[in-house]
């Protein structure tokens, strides 16, 4: 009887792995990645709204940073667990690259913006305004470049797998 249990469990594990719908269905795979994308973008947008408010609410900003980083970390983990789609990891890697880029901006440029915004506007000097524009340009162009690649890889994935874009 004991000799039979191990093969039965091995077969069950194989069946469960084969039924991983995200891994076998291109629509579900794409939807899983886009669901993470939506979460990450939503948290980034929330953080930017707080940062761009006329009055900086440090408690709200700290919470938004925490949420944004946690959501991005969870998205990175989800995509890593999701793996490649039938040995094609280009869409997955574009998503990972995009999310890791955003996380890097949270840890650097967004943090620098936060520190800058803590300074009262009446104390700002020309160098502060220069830094403000430099940081936003770095963030915007860096994110848009990675997002363009992500969208292009999504379209390639849809074409390769005969998925109608939504």
The answer as to whether 165 is a domain residue is: no
Residue-range definition of the domain harbouring residue 128: 25-160
The answer as to whether 14 is a domain residue is: no
The answer as to whether 12 is a domain residue is: no
Q: How many domains, the chain? A: 1
Which of 102, 89, 96, 94 lies closest to 149 in space, CA to CA? 94
C-alpha span between 107 and 115 (Å, rounded): 12
Residue 81, pLDDT above cutoff 70: yes
Whether 82 contacts 92, CB under 8 Å: yes
Tens digits of residue pLDDT in 57-71: 999 999 999 999 999
The answer as to whether 4 is a domain residue is: no
Mean pLDDT, residues 112-117 taken together: 95
The answer as to whether 118 is a domain residue is: yes
Residue 23, pLDDT above cutoff 70: no
The answer as to whether 10 is a domain residue is: no
């Amino acid at each position: 009887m004991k000799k039979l249990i191990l093969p039965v469990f091995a077969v069950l594990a194989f069946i469960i792995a084969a039924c991983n719908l995200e891994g076998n269905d291109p629509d579900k795979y794409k939807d899983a990645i886009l669901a993470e994308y939506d979460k990450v973008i939503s948290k980034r947008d929330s953080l930017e709204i707080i940062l761009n408010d006329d009055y900086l609410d440090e408690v709200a900003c700290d919470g938004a940073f925490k949420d944004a980083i946690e959501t991005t970390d969870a998205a990175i983990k989800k995509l890593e667990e999701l793996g490649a789609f039938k040995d094609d990891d280009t869409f997955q890697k574009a998503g990972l690259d995009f999310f890791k880029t955003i996380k890097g901006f949270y840890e650097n440029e967004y943090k620098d913006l936060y520190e800058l915004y803590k300074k009262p506007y009446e104390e700002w000097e020309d160098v502060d305004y220069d830094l403000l524009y430099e940081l936003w340009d770095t963030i915007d162009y860096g994110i848009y470049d990675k997002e363009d690649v992500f969208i292009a890889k999504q379209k390639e994935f849809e074409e390769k797998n005969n998925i109608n874009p939504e």
